[in-house]
Each structure stands twice: as structure tokens, then as C-alpha cells.
């Protein structure tokens, strides 16, 4: 007969092994089923208060080549940085409202952006390299959106303000939610 201490130890070892397998497969497309429960996908704020980001379908996480889909929720008052990227981006606002700030990339710096009200069931797109920022300006409700980008993984250029020259924008690559998976992918290639 096996004692309770051995059973507990065996259970704990198997649980730790299973947990490590889940962590190891976090960035591997081999462990992902075709149909996924969205509530089981990893999400986080990546050091940005008021943000919840989930990669629903991604290049590094799921092996997609042409597009990537994110589910992002912004608490009241939270926002993206002022940024641009060399890909197209389409948003679908699922819940809440806010403001899209959009400036052309055709000058030496973004300049004063246009303001566009965004709301539940609206959609908008960001042209390649146009500088933009999304704010949840609704004081009472989260802003939740699906974002679809082309050419993943995204390379983001971040601006301190709307009058910072394009040449001074700081490249952030890999972007926060791609950091772990890109590092693991690069290790695999060596």
C-alpha cells in the first residue's frame, strides 16, 4: 500500500511537470489547438497600468504569417503611447468609447493630430506609418477593442510628444507582448 505522503509527493511532482510544460509551450505553435477558448489565452498589462492585452491569434504565439489579432481593454483614462508602425491596423470597438488621435507621417514630425470619437460597434483603420494614439476618455466604462495588424510581429516607433521628429522616435522591437516568444524563437534557431 502506498502512503499518503508518497501520493502527495507524486501528485506535486506531476503538477510541477505539467505547469512547466504549459510554460514551455506558451510560445510554441505545436501545443495550440485549432479551436481555442479565448478565456484560456494568456493576458497581461505588460507594465502599463490600465491595459489588458491578449494576443488572440499571433505570429509568434500561433504561427500566423500575414495578420495578428489582439483583444485590448483600456481602463478609464488609460491610453496607448503616441506611436507608428509599418503595418496596417484595423480596430473594432466592442465596448465603451474614447478618442483616436491620428497624424500623418508625411511631415518631419507628426504635428497636431486629428481627433476622432470612437464608440461601441464602430471600426477604424490606421494607415501604414501614420502616427496615432487611442485614449479611453470615458470616465465610467472600459474601452475594449479588437485590433488586427498586418505584417506581424509589429515594430513600434514611440514618440514623446506630437512634435518629436520621426527620426527621433524610439524603436521598440520586439514589442512587450512579443518579447518572451521572440527570445525563445531566436534561441531555437541557433
Cα separation, 188 vs 29, in Å, equals 13
> What does the DSSP assignment read for 132-170?
EEEE---SSS-EEEEEEEESSSP-EEEESSTTS-GGGPE
The predicted structure's pLDDT at residue 184: 66
C-alpha cell at 101: 488621435
The predicted structure's pLDDT at residue 92: 98
C-alpha cell at 24: 514551455
Residues (pLDDT < 70) of the chain are 1-26, 28-32, 184-190
Binding-site residue set for Zn(2+): 83, 85, 89, 132
Whether residue 146 lies inside any domain: the answer is yes
Whether residue 142 lies inside any domain: the answer is yes
Whether residue 181 lies inside any domain: the answer is yes
Beta bridge partners, 117, equal 99
The predicted structure's pLDDT at residue 27: 76
The predicted structure's pLDDT at residue 8: 41
The predicted structure's pLDDT at residue 169: 97
The predicted structure's pLDDT at residue 29: 67
Can you give the length of the chain in residues?
190
The predicted structure's pLDDT at residue 90: 98
Cα separation, 174 vs 179, in Å, equals 5
Whether residue 13 lies inside any domain: the answer is no
Find, among 114, 117, 77, the residue nearest to 93 by Cα.
Answer: 117
Instruction: Give the CATH number for residue 75.
Output: 2.60.120.10
Find, among 150, 88, 94, 90, the residue nearest to 120 by Cα.
Answer: 94
Find, among 100, 42, 106, the residue nearest to 71 by Cα.
Answer: 42
Whether residue 3 lies inside any domain: the answer is no
Cβ-Cβ contacts under 8 Å for 149 (sequence gap 6 or more): 67, 68, 70, 85, 87, 88, 89
C-alpha cell at 126: 490606421
Residue 167 DSSP label: G
The predicted structure's pLDDT at residue 31: 66
Binding-site residue set: 83, 85, 89, 132
Whether residue 15 lies inside any domain: the answer is no
Find, among 107, 94, 122, the residue nearest to 159 by Cα.
Answer: 107
Domain count, the chain: 1
Whether residue 4 lies inside any domain: the answer is no
Whether residue 21 lies inside any domain: the answer is no
Range of the domain at 107: 35-189
Cα separation, 121 vs 143, in Å, equals 11
Cα separation, 129 vs 151, in Å, equals 13
The residue assigned the cell 512634435 is 163
The predicted structure's pLDDT at residue 61: 82
Amino acid at each position: 500500500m502506498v502512503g499518503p505522503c508518497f501520493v502527495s509527493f507524486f501528485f506535486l511532482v506531476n503538477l510541477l511537470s505539467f505547469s512547466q510544460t504549459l510554460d514551455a509551450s506558451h510560445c510554441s505553435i505545436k501545443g495550440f489547438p485549432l479551436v481555442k477558448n479565448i478565456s484560456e489565452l494568456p493576458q497581461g498589462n505588460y507594465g502599463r497600468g490600465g491595459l489588458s492585452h491578449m494576443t488572440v491569434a499571433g505570429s509568434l504565439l500561433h504561427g500566423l504569417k500575414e495578420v495578428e489579432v489582439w483583444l485590448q481593454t483600456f481602463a478609464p483614462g488609460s491610453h496607448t503611447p503616441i506611436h507608428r508602425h509599418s503595418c496596417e491596423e484595423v480596430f473594432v470597438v466592442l465596448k465603451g468609447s474614447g478618442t483616436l488621435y491620428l497624424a500623418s507621417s508625411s511631415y518631419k514630425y507628426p504635428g497636431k493630430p486629428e481627433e476622432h470619437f470612437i464608440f461601441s460597434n464602430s471600426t477604424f483603420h490606421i494607415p501604414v506609418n501614420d502616427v496615432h494614439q487611442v485614449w479611453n476618455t470615458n470616465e465610467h466604462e472600459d474601452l475594449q477593442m479588437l485590433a488586427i495588424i498586418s505584417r506581424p510581429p509589429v515594430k513600434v516607433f514611440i514618440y514623446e510628444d506630437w512634435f518629436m521628429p520621426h527620426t527621433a522616435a524610439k524603436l521598440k522591437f520586439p514589442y512587450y507582448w512579443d518579447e518572451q516568444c521572440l527570445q525563445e524563437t531566436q534561441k531555437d534557431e541557433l
